[in-house]
Every structure is written in C-alpha cells, then in structure tokens.
Structure 1
Amino acid sequence: MTHLLELLVQTAARFGLNYGFLLDAYQRASLVNGALTSIALCAVTIVGSLAAGLLLASMLTSGRVWIARPARVFIEVTRNTPTLVQLYCAFLVLNMLLTQAIGTANPLTPFAWVVIVISLHKGAFHAEALRAGIEAVPAVTLEAASSLAFNSRQLLWNVQLPLALRFALPSLINNLIDLVKMTAVASAIAVGDITYASIMIWTQSDNVLELMILLLAFFGLLSFIVNCAGRALEARLRMPGYGH
C-alpha cells in the first residue's frame, strides 16, 4: 500500500502536483476519517431528508388547512433561506439555548445538527416533488381505488404515494445529488468531514490546489454513485403506461 502511494505521489509530482501529505500517516488517517464521516453524513441525511419530505408531502395533501398551512409556511421559509445560514442559526442559537436549558447533557452534537438542518432543508424540496407526484396520479386510478372501499389514508399510502414516488423519482434523485454536495457545509461548524480535514491539512502545507482536486473528485464520485443508484431504481420501478 505504501509503495502504491509513493508511486502515485511521484506520478502526480511530474504534473506539478504535491501529494506528499498522503505519505504522512497522521494526515492520511485524518483524510480517511474525514471521508468516512462525509459518507456517513450523506447516508444519514438521505434517509432523514426522505422521511421529512414524505411527512411534509402528506401534510400538504391532507386536505386539512390547519395541517397543510404550517407545512407550506415551513417549506417556503426553508427553501428561500441559505443552508449555511440555517446551520449557523441552529448550531449557534438553538444549540446554545438547548445547552443553557439542560446543561452539558445536551445530546445534540455538531454532526447531529448538520443532519437535522440538511434533512429538513432538502426535505422541503422532496415534499414539493412528492406533492407534484401525488397530484399527477390519474383521477381514474383514484376512482378505481375508491370503488374498492379504500379510505383516504389507505388511498394515500397504498395508491397515491407508490405512484407519486415513480413520478417524482427524477426530481428526488436530483435533490439527493445536491444533498451530497451540500454536506460540505458541515465543515463550517467543525464537523470532521473530508472538507474540514482538507482545510486542516492545507493550513499547514501549501497544497490547496491538490486538496481541492481531491475534494472535487470525492464529491463527484459520491454524486455519481447516487445518480447511478437512482437511475437503477427508476428503471426497476418503471410501470408500463405511466410516465410515457
């Protein structure tokens, strides 16, 4: 492994790129741990954002104003404010108030705050995609389900949402790709992701260009994996007669 790294460092040096930090065990471990943290952050926020989006979409299409109105207000506020500002407000304000209220027993770490903020932020976008999908379900399909004595809840969970997911999947995958890139804001509150690890390395060495290339490649690869998984899921869930 060390020999391979040395070979890669020497090859990069021929192009004027200094990746010598990869030969330092501490900096290499810091970068690897940062990459694993970023992957974990992506995995958890993908699940959290989809759950939030599903809940908000259900509220929007509930037909009850007292349920739909708060969801609409939340979505508009969330979509129209920057993620970084939301993260700062959550971590520097809400977290401080929570710490003052319960003391050092505050269970929410910086990692948890990033998960909450990004999940809710992208959940708002998922909700709009799912809402559009729910409203795109043909009326004849709903009439057929109603003739089987489905109540409104059964209609939503057994008919509308499964079809809405298929209609909304391209938009959801696009949102998830954006979510992967968005996790880089975690470094703003010192979460030890790959971006934060890179910043710590380039503050000690003059290799900003090399680390930026590494970051671009890392997030590009993660986004590509999410895109491929989404396309495979879209092909698997495709139904004849829908979406064509």
Structure 2
Amino acid sequence: MNAFDWRVFLLDPGGAHPSYLQWMLSAWGWTVGVALSALAVALAAGFVVGTLRTLPDHPWIVHIGDAWVELFRNVPLLVQLFLWYYVVPALVPTMKNVPGFVMVVLALGLFTSARVAEQVRAGIQALPRGQRLAGMAMGFTTMQYYRHVLLPMALRLVLPPLTSETMNIFKNSSVAFAVSVPELTMFAMQAQEETSRGIEVYLAVTVLYVLSALAINRLMSLLERRTRVPGFIAQQTAGAH
C-alpha cells in the first residue's frame, strides 16, 4: 500500500482552479450553497404543509397536505432530481434555461419538505388540547391562535428532529453530482480519476462533510437551548407516561 501523499492537493489540475485544494474548497462552497438553499425551501414548504395538515374543520386541505407528503416522501430522491432536471423542462418550456443548481435545490428541498411537514404536524398534535381551546376562548381566529399559541410552542418541540433533517440535507446534497453541479462528490470523483490518489481525496472530502454536520449540530443545539421553555418538555414527557 502506498504511503499517503497529501501534496496532491497542491498540484495544479489545469483548469479554473490553481490547485486541487482550492478546487475542493470551491466544491465545498457549492455543497453548502445547495444544502442551505434546499433547507430554506424545505422549511418554508414543510411548515406550511405540516400546519395545514392539522387544521380543524378543513378535511380537504388536510387531504391535500397528506397527498403532498406521500408524493415527495415515497419517490426516491434521485428519481425526483431527474424528473426536475429532464422531465419538467420538457413539459414547461420556460424552465429549459433554469440552471441545474436551481433544479437540485427544488428537488432536494421539496423531498425534505415532506419530512419537515411530518415533524411539524407531530409537534402541533403533541400540544395539549387545552392550548387550542384557550386560544378559541380568547376570541382568536384560527390563524391567530396558530400564530400566537400553537406554532411558537410546536416549533420548540420539533427543533431536535429538525436537526437530523438539516444534517440529512447536507448529506443528500451529494446527489447534485448526477446533474453536473460541481459539489464535493463530483470533485472527489474527478480528482480521484485525474490523480489516482483516491484515498487522500475521499478522506479529505469525508472530513469536510463531517465538519459541516458537526457545525449544524452545534448551531441547532444552541438554538434549541435558547428557545427551550423551562419545564415544558419534562411536563410533556411526564404526561405521556
């Protein structure tokens, strides 16, 4: 087995980047860009769909939300990516010139939105029924008691599972290589072929994925501590028993 040769990252790949190291860091930037953009789409769509699935007296809206979740959750992510990249532009001519980056963000964001919607729905339904009734007794409209009573508490409950979804979206961003978005996985495949130093390349890429996941975990843990309602989680757990 050959010894590690980390000098490979100082070599000139002969393209837009002066070294493999700078190419890898650029690819990391693409990975972060895809993941954060898709996360914004997932959170926006997931919060809306998850909330709609808990609306009282509106069964048709609930059914639409359920259909959204089942559609995006049960079709493999790579298939959804190819649908967005190849099928949608063929059916909608105005989408033909949309960059691959946007298509990846839509595919990954909507795929993850189904999982976020499930977490939001579960968080709202985990709240004591008395909170909803109290809002109604105060004369709030449905929108008002969701906004001022239910959602602020429910979002605190779903922060821990949302941490996992946020980490997953970074890992799932690797599918972007399939449509030639120059992110980390695509860099690793090309650099390994050009240098024949696959061990060094894939170890370095793995470290960057781990650093990304750890950073997300720390940020979400800090947010969870800052927004926690003292005693609320403990009361919920005790009530469950």
- Range that drifts further, 79-88 or 218-227: 79-88
Which 5+ residue runs of structure 1 have no aligned equivalent? 1-14
Count of aligned residue pairs for this structure pair: 227
Which residue, 63, 77, 89 being the options, matches 1:69?
A: 63
- Structure 2 counterparts to residues 32-181 of structure 1, below 5 A: 32-63=25-56, 64-98=58-92, 101-102=93-94, 106-181=96-171
Moved over 6 A (4+): none
Which residue, 197, 202, 207 being the options, matches 2:197?
A: 207
Q: Deviations over 1:1-41 (max 9, x none)?
A: xxxxxxxxxxxxxx821223311224333222111111111
Q: Deviations over 1:128-161 (max 9, x none)?
A: 0010110111122222222221110111111111
* Alpha-carbon offset, residue 107 of structure 1: 4.4
Matched residue type, 1:75: V
Q: Give the whole-Å Cα distance in 1 for the aligned partners of 2:39 and 2:192.
A: 29
Which residue, 20, 32, 41 being the options, matches 1:27?
A: 20
Which 5+ residue runs of structure 2 have no aligned equivalent? 12-17, 235-241
Matched residue type, 2:27: G
Query: TM-score w.r.t. structure 1 length?
Result: 0.87
Q: Give the whole-Å Cα distance in 2 for the aligned partners of 1:97 and 1:211.
A: 39
Q: Give the whole-Å Cα distance in 2 for the aligned partners of 1:62 and 1:185.
A: 35
* Alpha-carbon offset, residue 96 of structure 1: 3.1
Aligned-residue sequence identity (percent) comes to 26
Q: Give the whole-Å Cα distance in 2 for the aligned partners of 1:232 and 1:238.
A: 10
RMSD of the alignment, in Å?
1.8
Q: Give the whole-Å Cα distance in 1 for the aligned partners of 2:45 and 2:3.
A: 46
> Does the aligned pair in 1 maintain the 2:90–2:96 contact within 8 Å?
no
Instruction: Please state if 1:17 is matched with 2:4.
Output: yes
